[in-house]
Structure 1
Amino acid sequence: MGNSWMANSAALLEAYARHNDDLPGVVRQRLLDRAITAHLPPGPARVVDVGGGAGFQAVGLARAGHEVVLLDPDPAMLADAARRLADEPGQVRDRVRLVQGYGEQAPELVGGGFDLVCCHGILMYVDDPALLLRSVTALARPGGLLSVLAKNAESVAMRPALEGRWSDAVATLRTGVDAGGRTVDTRADTVEGVSGLLAAAGARPRAWYGLRIFTDHLRDVPGEAELDQLCELEWEAGRRDPYRRVARLFHVVAERDPA
């Protein structure tokens, strides 16, 4: 059960914190929230966020009235999540439970029957995506939703090229690994590959989106009006080919098969 995040946690924590405040992080979260809202039925839901890290997704879901279990193996990330929760009103804090552990062990740690299971930005760090997705699928109730965000293997050369890292872009095209990237080398997946693994685990893919088509190489967050326009552009392009095929990330929404 290899996990490159835990092997490089100290180096990744600082980069993760920066990422959530820069433009790619903001766009990522807005687009994830919009897609989840589009598919999740109205009303409070039971949610588990596998690899939920510092709690950005979990806190947002709790603010919306959902009961959330945040599962993560990294104690430093869970400490960040606890600090974030401490700044929230009591009714939001009470809706979030923090659990330490790996996603592959999730059914034993947090049970099942969840209306929504989030697995965002985790596949790139694990050696066996099939094992993780089987565990993630087992958490959902029959008819429950799965939200899986992964790095797009079809576009890994886009970021280094747009940043002017020409030799890194060439190496990435040849190897499929973003060598010389910002933190550690991570693996990427395809929409078809992840959709196939979910189907094999008992979940039917319902829709998929591309995230960060035009913004992955940018950093500064614009004013609110411009940010709204930018996110609308990303949303529209992320729902259609060929644009979503060159997005940095892809987001698959699936539904667990009936019992």
Structure 2
Amino acid sequence: MTAVNHFSPAVDRWLNGQGKFRDAVRHALVTRQLDEQLTHRYPIDRRLRVLDVGCGQGVQALRLARLGHEVTGLESDPTMLAAAHTALEQEPEGIRARLHLRAGDARDTGALFAPGSFDVVLCHGVLMYLAEPGPTLAGLARVLARDGLLSLLVRNADALALRPGQSGDWSAALSAFDEPGYTNRLGLAARADRLESLTATLAGIGVPLARWYGVRVLTDLAPDDAEPPQGEKWQRLLAAEERAGTTDPYRAVAAQLHLCGVRG
């Protein structure tokens, strides 16, 4: 996650939430959805060049490096970047050689890397901290190779009233119908995106939307400190979330949207 609006004060709270219920659901769903796209678009033995923009503590970047891909993780917050380096140091030498971590802002991606440098670009949980996502998305498109995959995880503005409404915060719910800005669970000012608007933006930068999913349709109200269930209950929960995230009209009211565009 890129700290473009002073994310640093919330880093400890973010890291303490890793592995908790809501984080575990999000990570499991995005991983399944991303792997579905990679399997569909690339030969199973192809080693991909991956850029993870706003890689945070490196969870997704490490996972992809373990699978054999060449991964670059870009992160602007020093504490998050240090956490990623610490996690990487625990890995075998081969994985350490495949994951390259560097400091950098999501907004500068287009200037940091040559055009067409990556087969896959991930930008998860970053756009919500940008006042205007268009220039950043254009930079991501610039570094994406032809037929490359762009994976975005954003807060869903079309469902922004659900969480406060279901929690009984009627003033916030009414405001959410008209305003994309909100305060997230980390206490930070953030901004949600609408599927229609992002679809148009992606088409305009030459990376038209190929597939989209809902993330946390059914479980977004779980307490921050809740632990994920185990065994069969966990698998059935994920199966229900996965079904909701690919089924209309449920996916349209997911807390987050996972959009996958392909460079033309």
Give the TM-score, by structure 2 length: 0.90
Q: Which residue of 2 aligns with 1:95?
A: 98
Q: 1:245 to 1:116 in 2, by over 3 A?
A: same
- What's the TM-score once normalised by structure 1's chain length? 0.91
In the TM superposition, what is the alpha-carbon distance from 1:203 to its structure 2 partner? 0.7
Query: Aligned pair 1:188/2:195, yes or no?
Result: no
Q: Percent identity?
A: 35
Partner of 1:108: 111
* Corresponding letter in the other structure for 2:200: G
Deviation of residue 179 (structure 1)? Answer: 4.3
Distance 2:19 2:145 in 1: 34
Alpha-carbon shift at residue 162 of structure 1 (Å): 3.2
SS, match of residue 218 in structure 2: coil
Residue matched to 1:138: 142
Query: What is the CA distance between 1:21 and its match in structure 2?
Result: 1.9
Q: Deviations over 1:126-154 (max 9, x none)?
A: 12200010011111100011101110001
Alpha-carbon distance in 2 for matches of 1:233, 1:147: 22
Q: What per-residue deviation string (whole Å, max 9, x for no partner) do you get for residues 58-116 of structure 1?
A: 01111111110001122221111001111222222111001111122213323333111
Compare 162-171 and 71-80 and name the one that shifted more: 162-171
Shift of the 11–163 alpha-carbon distance from structure 1 to 2, 3 Å rule, reads farther
Aligned pair count? 255
Specify whether residues 252 and 132 from structure 1 end up closer, same or farther in structure 2 by C-alpha distance, changes over 3 A only. Answer: same
* Residue of structure 1 equivalent to 2:236: 229
Structure 1: which 4+ aligned runs deviate by more than 6 Å?
none
Q: How far apart, CA to CA, are the structure 1 residues paired with 2:186 and 2:97?
A: 36
Contact map agreement 1:172 1:179 (CA 8 A) in 2: no
Farther off after superposition, 217-226 or 129-138: 217-226
Residue pair 1:137, 1:256 contacting (<8 A) in 2 also: yes
Q: Which residue of 2 aligns with 1:45?
A: 48
Contact 1:168 1:180 in 2 (8 A): no
Contact 1:137 1:202 in 2 (8 A): yes
Of 131, 136, 141 in structure 2, the residue corresponding to residue 127 of structure 1 is: 131
Query: Does structure 1 conserve the Cα–Cα contact (< 8 Å) formed by 2:159 and 2:255?
Result: yes
Q: Distance in 2 between matches of 1:21 and 1:164?
A: 27
Partner of 2:79: 76
Please list the CA deviations of residues 155-176 of structure 1 after superposition, one character each: whole Å capped at 9, or x if unmatched. 1122223344444334434534
3-state secondary structure, aligned to 1:21: coil
- CA distance in 2 between counterparts of 1:110 and 1:85 reads 22
Would you say the 8 A contact 1:51–1:72 is kept in 2?
yes
1:220 CA displacement: 2.4
User: What residue number does 1:22 align with?
Assistant: 20
